[in-house]
């Protein structure tokens, strides 16, 4: 039998660089910092480091980013924020002391307090979490510190300027042996700080990997990679060794959260693989996210994900199929009410539009009358409290009977299937079930593909 290569052929070579991004939980305390230090020192290719702000040390702790937002809110209201700021200082001091470093952040904090008083903005405030952690990390590793505000650029309309950033980073890092670049933020042309959305350090890591043409982007977190299904539904689900960018996008759309959604694009444009790793279990291989692979996934399916809270709007009209433009008119009623649709499976005389219930509920009668006005159907029927489940896998294309197995498993579990939609890519099958059947359905699908394969 041919041997799978868990490291995707990425082994040490000349001039190979890795970008390593560490999430908040990996940097929550001095103890966590030490694990990170050991990981970086264990591989001389780990030369470009992107840290998050310190995260939670325990489940009831507060992330430094959230402390900064709360502290800035006080500053903005003109209230006293000294107590909140002291708590933030303490978090960093604990790390500095625990690492035995001889640095002081007093000067930095003076500047931050001044800027808070001058209402520098909540983006600036939040960004200080990564900025200060970056300074500590650079000192701890003996790497150069590169302020993200000088290399990650946003356009005046707030959109990230990918091309200019790429150029700035390339120029700045040329000839730099090893550097720490804080995650999560950048700046406009005039220097005003702007952050990405929450979890945005993942994006910074990906941007840096693209700029230096890294051979891999390692994203270190507190789980050993992507799991086949949600651990809140399946007890100790299996991990995924390799997943393609496209599979991950399909699953992320349905609620899989491993990586910030936008983190895929920069590395994808260069074909750089992402390796999700666990700081608390560095010996685990984690999950590889790649453009394409000939390595088969362990099971026919790569992952199962889903969401509750959908409505199905069923529209019936005799001879619908021969009426040109019917679908467009129906969808126009949704568009006019600014409702995005998820799926539109159709039959001969029926068409169903799946929408998010919480978005639709306030506008339902407007949409119904809109469909009547625009498309003149025979009847409209709304079904609420539905869930959508995506079964995703590149292996489905070459395996017969996947859909058959899913539906017989669901039938055995007494789950009534309300909708089936298989994308033409044969990469996923979307199934609609009642909210109440959601967990049972996921368990049944997991059992048939994973448990019965072991």
Q: Does 22 bind ligand ASP (CB under 6 A)?
A: no
Residues 294-323 that bind ligand ASP (CB under 6 A): none
Q: Does 54 bind ligand ASP (CB under 6 A)?
A: no
In this chain, which stretch among 102-110, 194-202, 218-226, 239-247 interacts with ligand ASP, using CB under 6 A?
A: 194-202
Nearer to ligand ASP, 199 or 303 (CB): 199
In this chain, which stretch among 192-200, 207-215, 224-232, 277-285 interacts with ligand ASP, using CB under 6 A?
A: 192-200
Beta sheet of 341-343, edge-to-edge order: 341-343, 350-356, 303-316, 379-392, 428-434, 419-422
Are 164 and 207 spatial neighbours (Cβ–Cβ below 8 Å)? no
Backbone angles phi, psi at 394, to 5 degrees: -65, -20
Q: Does 377 bind ligand ASP (CB under 6 A)?
A: no
| Separation CA 99–CA 136 (nearest Å) | 9
In this chain, which stretch among 135-143, 200-208, 319-327, 390-398 interacts with ligand ASP, using CB under 6 A?
A: 200-208
Q: Please, what is the minimum distance in Å from the beta carbon of residue 8 to ligand ASP?
A: 25
Nearer to ligand ASP, 44 or 198 (CB): 198
User: Binder to ligand ASP among 123, 129, 254, 258 (CB under 6 A)?
Assistant: 129
Q: Does 393 bind ligand ASP (CB under 6 A)?
A: no
Residue 232 tokens, joined: 């809140």
Binding residues for ligand ASP, total number by CB under 6 A:
13
| Separation CA 165–CA 367 (nearest Å) | 43
Residue 304 tokens, joined: 């199962």
| Separation CA 326–CA 159 (nearest Å) | 36
| Separation CA 242–CA 298 (nearest Å) | 9
Q: Please, what is the minimum distance in Å from the beta carbon of residue 133 to ligand ASP?
A: 9
Residues 55-74 that bind ligand ASP (CB under 6 A): 63, 65
Q: Please, what is the minimum distance in Å from the beta carbon of residue 184 to ligand ASP?
A: 4
Nearer to ligand ASP, 199 or 393 (CB): 199
Are 53 and 63 spatial neighbours (Cβ–Cβ below 8 Å)? yes
Task: Enumerate the β-bridge partners of residue 422.
Answer: 429
User: Binder to ligand ASP among 53, 181, 243, 409 (CB under 6 A)?
Assistant: 53
Q: Does 127 bind ligand ASP (CB under 6 A)?
A: no
Nearer to ligand ASP, 196 or 334 (CB): 196
In this chain, which stretch among 174-182, 196-204, 375-383, 415-423 interacts with ligand ASP, using CB under 6 A?
A: 196-204
Residue 237's Cα: distance from chain center in Å?
19
Structural element, H or E, at residue 136: helix 122-141
In this chain, which stretch among 10-18, 80-88, 193-201, 310-318 interacts with ligand ASP, using CB under 6 A?
A: 193-201
Q: Does 84 bind ligand ASP (CB under 6 A)?
A: no
| Separation CA 322–CA 317 (nearest Å) | 11
- Comparing CA positions, the residue from 213, 146, 226 lying closest to residue 183 is 146
Nearer to ligand ASP, 200 or 393 (CB): 200
User: Binder to ligand ASP among 199, 205, 273, 393 (CB under 6 A)?
Assistant: 199
| Separation CA 422–CA 404 (nearest Å) | 12
Q: Please, what is the minimum distance in Å from the beta carbon of residue 105 to ligand ASP?
A: 17
| Separation CA 12–CA 208 (nearest Å) | 20
Q: For 164, how many CA atoms within 13 A lie in the half-sphere containing its CB? A: 15
Q: Please, what is the minimum distance in Å from the beta carbon of residue 12 to ligand ASP?
A: 29
**Residue linked to tokens 């491993």:** 258
| Separation CA 225–CA 9 (nearest Å) | 19
User: Binder to ligand ASP among 155, 198, 366, 397 (CB under 6 A)?
Assistant: 198
Q: Mark residues 150-189: x for contact with ligand ASP by CB under 6 A, - for none.
A: ---------------------------------xx-----
Q: Please, what is the minimum distance in Å from the beta carbon of residue 130 to ligand ASP?
A: 6
Burial class for 341, CB neighbours closer than 10 Å (0-12, 13-18, 19+): middle
| Separation CA 221–CA 146 (nearest Å) | 22
Radius of gyration from C-alpha coordinates of the chain: 25
| Separation CA 426–CA 344 (nearest Å) | 17
| Separation CA 199–CA 50 (nearest Å) | 13
Q: Does 134 bind ligand ASP (CB under 6 A)?
A: no
User: Binder to ligand ASP among 17, 32, 52, 219 (CB under 6 A)?
Assistant: 52
User: Binder to ligand ASP among 134, 186, 200, 432 (CB under 6 A)?
Assistant: 200
- Comparing CA positions, the residue from 365, 333, 363 lying closest to residue 351 is 333
User: Binder to ligand ASP among 17, 29, 201, 302 (CB under 6 A)?
Assistant: 201
DSSP H stretches of helix in 148-188: 162-173
Nearer to ligand ASP, 148 or 304 (CB): 148
Q: Please, what is the minimum distance in Å from the beta carbon of residue 53 to ligand ASP?
A: 4
Binding site for ligand ASP (CB under 6 A): 24, 52-53, 63, 65, 129, 183-184, 198-202
């Amino acid at each position: 039998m041919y041997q799978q290569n868990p490291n995707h052929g990425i082994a040490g070579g000349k001039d190979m660089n890795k970008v390593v991004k560490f999430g908040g939980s990996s940097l929550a305390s001095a103890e966590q910092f030490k694990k990170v230090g050991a990981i970086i020192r264990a591989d001389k290719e780990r030369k470009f480091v992107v840290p998050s702000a310190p995260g939670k040390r325990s489940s009831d702790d507060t992330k430094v980013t959230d402390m900064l937002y709360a502290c800035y809110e006080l500053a903005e209201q003109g209230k006293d924020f000294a107590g909140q700021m002291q708590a933030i200082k303490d978090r960093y001091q604990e790390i500095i002391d625990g690492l035995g470093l001889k640095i002081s952040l007093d000067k930095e904090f003076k500047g931050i307090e001044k800027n808070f008083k001058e209402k520098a903005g909540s983006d600036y405030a939040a960004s200080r979490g990564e900025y200060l952690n970056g300074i500590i990390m650079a000192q701890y590793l003996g790497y150069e510190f590169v302020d993200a505000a000088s290399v990650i650029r946003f356009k005046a309309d707030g959109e990230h300027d990918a091309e200019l950033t790429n150029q700035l980073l390339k120029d700045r890092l040329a000839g730099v042996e090893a550097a720490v670049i804080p995650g999560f933020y950048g700046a406009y042309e005039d220097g005003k700080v702007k952050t990405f959305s929450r979890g945005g350090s993942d994006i910074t890591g990906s941007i840096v990997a693209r700029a230096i043409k890294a051979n891999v982007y390692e994203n270190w977190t507190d789980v050993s990679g992507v799991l086949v299904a949600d651990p809140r539904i399946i007890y100790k689900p299996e991990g995924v060794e390799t997943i393609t960018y496209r599979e991950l996008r399909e699953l992320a759309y349905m609620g899989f959260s491993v990586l910030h959604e936008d983190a895929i694009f920069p590395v994808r444009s260069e074909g750089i693989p992402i390796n999700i790793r666990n700081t608390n279990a560095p010996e685990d291989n984690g999950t590889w996210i790649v453009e394409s692979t000939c390595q088969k996934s362990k099971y026919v399916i790569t992952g199962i994900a889903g969401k509750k809270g959908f409505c199905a709007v069923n529209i019936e009209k005799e001879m619908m199929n021969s009426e040109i433009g019917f679908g467009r008119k129906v969808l126009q009623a949704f568009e006019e009410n600014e409702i995005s649709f998820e799926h539109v499976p159709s039959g001969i005389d029926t068409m169903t539009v799946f929408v998010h219930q919480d978005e639709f509920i306030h506008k339902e009668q407007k949409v119904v009358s809109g469909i009547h006005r625009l498309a003149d159907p025979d009847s409209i029927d709304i079904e609420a409290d539905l869930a959508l489940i995506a079964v995703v896998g590149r292996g489905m294309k070459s395996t017969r009977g996947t859909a058959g197995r899913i539906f017989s498993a669901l039938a055995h579990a007494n789950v009534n299937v309300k909708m089936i939609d298989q994308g033409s890519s044969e990469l996923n099958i979307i199934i609609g079930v009642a909210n109440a059947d959601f967990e049972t359905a996921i368990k049944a699908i997991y059992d048939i593909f994973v448990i019965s394969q072991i």
